[in-house]
Chain A
């Protein structure tokens, strides 16, 4: 099964690009949760908690924490240094929102929800009623952002803040 999946590896080139198939789930999480066909009447069961979490993660991005971290980073920066980052170093940082970042990206938030804490399950159970799910998705499925030519960059942000159902979950 695993080998069948990797029938078409795109690992050409000379290594300036990190390539993976979707087996690196982290990179496709956003697509799986947020894109694709959806019938709005029907339910995306138990997902409510996760979606709210990802929306929150987007909002949290511009936080004081981030600012302080940037300030610290720029103050520590040795402007004279001409160090070039080697590949190993780059690869080390391959996990998004890696060690240097305290701020959560959407994927990180979702990842925590999905792959992290056990208590997330309880959260889902509380909210797993189908009607709520249907309403939640009603808005979601109208947000189409496929475009063959021009998709505006700002759309997702406004969708995120447009959702009234945000709940702070920062941990």
Chain B
């Protein structure tokens, strides 16, 4: 993209906040100072990006997360995905803040007083395997048929058995995730359900929660964790900026 201009320094964008404030007092990517680029009542939380290209490493991702977290403490923030860079401040103003002004202002208002929490449930493999053997005759039979035989002689049977188990895990995950999400949904403003990230993951969902209702949400998650304790470990991460609950209309 050809860019000419006086201050044609590329801008990394962390998120969008309300204008008028000061950027949080943490360092940005590559140690750069944070700056607000404002247009009207909305502002982009930015820093000058390294010239050539942005490294997508551990430090950079940490910095992105750190900046957003600090911003969240100061108020409402609409997080950008990691890695958004615009050629310069003017283009940023034009293409993000001006072009999407109404959406951004509306979403800032909508996200006031709300934070995201990520809930993940990880199966205890042995416990769930026992459930599966107990409930699935085919698995139990195949398991017995294989037992004691040399590995080389049962290669395909073992693959077959493993496949059955994998799909039993997946079926359970679907069921358990649906139940857990339904259980927590009344305590949240919105829910975003993701695909399990690996075969032992039962549930992977994000909830938008009112700050003032955090205790109730937490208690509900705790209840899930307690009930499932023998077979699943529940993790709760947050408060986070509302990554899963913001969006921009895609313009061509």
Could you list which residues of chain A lie within 8 angstroms of chain B, going by C-beta atoms?
Answer: 1, 4-5, 7-8, 10, 12-14, 16-25, 27-47, 49-50, 58, 61-62, 64, 66-75, 77, 79, 84-85, 90, 93-94, 96-97, 100-101, 103-108, 114-115, 121, 124-125, 128, 130, 141-142, 144-149, 151-157
Contact = CB atoms under 8 A, between A and B. Distances in A.
A131 to B, nearest CB: 9
A144 B155 CA distance: 42
Nearest to A62: B166
A130 B122 CA distance: 38
Given A7-B73, A79-B130, A103-B198, A37 B122 contact: no
A17 B220 CA distance: 11
B122 A114 contact: no
Nearest to A131: B1
A45 B85 contact: yes
- Considering residues A28, A29, A68, A106, which has the most beta carbons from chain B within 10 angstroms of its beta carbon? A28
B1 to A, nearest CB: 7
B40 to A, nearest CB: 17
Contacts of B109: none
Contact of A21 (B69, B129, B132): B69
A112 to B, nearest CB: 11
Query: Which 4 residue pairs are nearest across A and B when measured between Cβ atoms?
Result: A67-B162, A105-B198, A44-B83, A16-B225
B244 interface: yes
Contacts of B244: 31, 35, 145-146
A44 B226 CA distance: 41
- Considering residues B70, B73, B250, which has the most beta carbons from chain A within 10 angstroms of its beta carbon? B250
Interface of B: 1, 15-16, 26, 52-58, 61-62, 64-66, 69-70, 73, 78-86, 95-96, 116, 118, 120, 122, 124-127, 129-130, 132-134, 139, 143, 146-147, 158-163, 165-166, 169, 174, 177-178, 189-195, 197-201, 206, 214-215, 218-219, 221-222, 224-226, 229-230, 233-241, 243-248, 250-251
Contacts of B116: 31
A27 B194 CA distance: 13
A20 B65 CA distance: 14
A30 B194 contact: yes
Contacts, number: 296
A14 B226 CA distance: 9
A1 B26 contact: yes
B58 A114 contact: yes
A31 B143 contact: no
B95 A39 contact: yes
A167 B90 CA distance: 36
B95 to A, nearest CB: 6
A21 B241 CA distance: 11
Contacts of B96: 39
A115 B198 CA distance: 19
Contact of B199 (A61, A85, A152): A61
- Considering residues B66, B160, B244, which has the most beta carbons from chain A within 10 angstroms of its beta carbon? B244
A24 B15 contact: no
- Considering residues A35, A147, A152, which has the most beta carbons from chain B within 10 angstroms of its beta carbon? A35
B15 A37 contact: yes
A37 B64 contact: no
A36 B197 contact: no
A73 B240 contact: no
Nearest to A158: B195
Contacts of A1: 26, 66, 70
A97 B198 contact: yes
A4 B69 CA distance: 10
